[in-house]
Structures are given as C-alpha cells and as structure tokens.
Amino acid sequence: MGNYRFIISGGGTGGHIYPAIAIANELKKRHSNAEFLFVGAKDKMEMEKVPKAGYEIKGLWISGLQRKLTIKNLLFPIKLIQSLLKARGIIRRFKPDVAIGTGGFASGPTLKAAASSKIPYILQEQNSFAGITNKLLAKNAAKICVAYDGMERFFPKGKLVKTGNPVRADLVKLNVTRETASEHFKLNPNQKTLLILGGSLGARRINQLVAEKLDFFEQLNVQLIWQCGRLYFDEYKGFESETVKVLAFINKMNFAFTAADIIISRAGAGSVSELCLVGKPTIFIPSPNVAEDHQTKNAEALVEKNAAILLKESTIDSDFETIFKTLLDSPDQQKELANNIKQLGKPKATEEIVDEIEKLLK
C-alpha cells in the first residue's frame, strides 16, 4: 500500500464533481493510506458536495468568461493570476504524486501548476464535445480518458483511452427494493412512477413542462419524483402533494432510480452514463444551450440503437403528451428501451480510469 498523494480538480456542475469523487473513492479502495486533496471554484457546488463525500477541498477564486462584456469578464485576468498563484502554493505544500482533472474552471490553474512542478496528470472528459479547460490542458496530459468515439477531433490521438464515464458506485447495483425506495419518497409502490431529472442546477423548460402537465399526469394515475434543481426549488416547491414529490436535489439516487418506471432527463454525459447502467425507459430532452449541441448528439447516439426516446425542446408542446402516453401504455416498448439502454452501460469505467492513474505511479 503506497502512501500516495492525489490532487483532484473538477467542478461547477454535478457532471464534473461526481466523476471526481468516484475516481477518489476507487483510488482510496486500492490505496487505503493515500491522501487526497480536491481543488474547486470557491462559489461552486463542489465546495459543499466534496466535504459531504468525506474529502478535503480548497477553493480558488475562478470563474468562466461570460459571452457578453461584464464586470466579471474584466475581473477574469485578476482571478486567473490569483488562482494560478494559489494553485502553485497548494501543489508545493501538498506534493501530489499524480493530479487528476475532470473539467471545470478550477482544474485549469490546478493542472497548469501541477505541470510546472513536473507532476504528471490525467484528464477525464465526459462529453462528446470537449470542454475548453480540458482542450487547453491536453498538451501536457499523460493520458485523456474519454467516453465517446471520435475524440481525436479535440485531443492528441495517442493520449486517448476510451473508458466511459465514472458513475456513483450505488448505481452499478440498485440494491434496494421498490417498496423501500417508494417508501423513502412517501409514494405508492403499486402506482406508476415518473422520475424527472433536470441536472443539479435544474432545467427551466423541463420544469415548465412538468408544471403545465400535472393534471395530465394525474389523469394517467402517474406519481412524480420531480428533481427541479436548486435554482428552481423555491418556484416549484408549492406543487408538492401526496403524488408529486418536489426536490431541489436527490441524495439517494439509487432509491429514485429503483422507484421509477419511466425517466425524463437532460442528456448531459454524466446523466447518459448513469441511465445506461440503470436500464429504465428514458425520454431525453436535451438542453439546446450547450456547446455544439452535444446533449442532442449524446441522445441521438442512443436513439440510433433504439435505447431511448429523444424529444426536442422545440417540439415539446406538440409532441409530449402523445410520446409519453404511448410509452406508458406499451409495456413492450418500455421493456425494449430498458434492455437496449442497459447494454450500453460501462460499469467498469471508474476502475479503468484508475488503472491509467496507477500506471503513472509506477
């Protein structure tokens, strides 16, 4: 058992944070004496989620550039210089053996500082369209672990390893009963349950859709676990009822997935990877507001294999009720989608990424 030291940086959204925590947990399992330090952005959700997972985190004063001229943009060069200096100090004091970046603003200064101290690092890119931070860091990376084919568009081909995306360990085996899961949400285990996932911050258009369709769901005798996201919780918590459970965030995702018969979700890379392991019939409503429309591309890859349904935001009003009711009324279609999506899961993604990290320790 080596007394290794690992620095892990990634955050801003759950899509960057959960892979980082999953990688740390797998490293800890293999090296129980190892020490870990996370580096995040000061005002982002990693500052709360990482300590909750049992790891220490340091915050940098860093944020991305806005698309229009703002005060935040004028502050960006100052934030970047200050973050680089702080990251260098963190690296110098902690002396990691390896650094790991999972995307997000804080990983830029952290891994730049690691490179200048000759610390090897690995990148993990979750999306089918690479993030700007990871593209900038690719040149000095030892390896880049990816989840999609065709990533040589963004990264040096020789550094790529296709591993899939790490997911939370409790999703690999949904080891709770439907009764226990339903009871946790105070729902009826014998009634059809729809799980709505808008990502950690929430999805405005999905929330609007659900609010508009509550009578429709009631007519169909469908109960809801509605994760509306922390940005929208105050707006929608008033819709809570015996059959509609409104949550800012779901801590026990394995319970939510077990209770669900059908899932509506965004198509971010982390969500897609998790839902492939879960194996439930899913309607993807991709966010149209992401770089290169990569959520739509993620969803289309599954639709091609008859493993999910794609509903575009632009056609929600005209198509949603028909698509949902058709799926609800067809056990055969539900079964087929569930079986097909399950076959695309990569349950060993975390282990394969950690195998690559271990090579650097040798």
Which parts are annotated binding residues for UDP-N-acetyl-alpha-D-glucosamine?
13-15, 127, 168, 200, 250, 295
Residue owning tokens 């707006």: 235
203 contacts 285 by C-beta, under 8 angstroms: yes
Residues 279, 134: Cα–Cα separation, whole Å: 30
**3-state secondary structure labels for all residues of 276-294:** HHHCCCEEECCCCCCHHHH
Residues 70, 52: Cα–Cα separation, whole Å: 33
Residues 295, 205: Cα–Cα separation, whole Å: 15
Report CA torsion sign: 325, 330, 333, 334: positive
CA dihedral of 276, 149, 147, 353, whole degrees rounded to 10: 130
12 contacts 108 by C-beta, under 8 angstroms: no
Annotated binding-site residue numbers: 13-15, 127, 168, 200, 250, 295
Task: Collapse the DSSP code of 306 into the 3-class scheme (helix H, G, I; strand E, B; otherwise coil) and give the result.
Answer: coil
DSSP H helices, 105-156, are: 107-116, 132-137
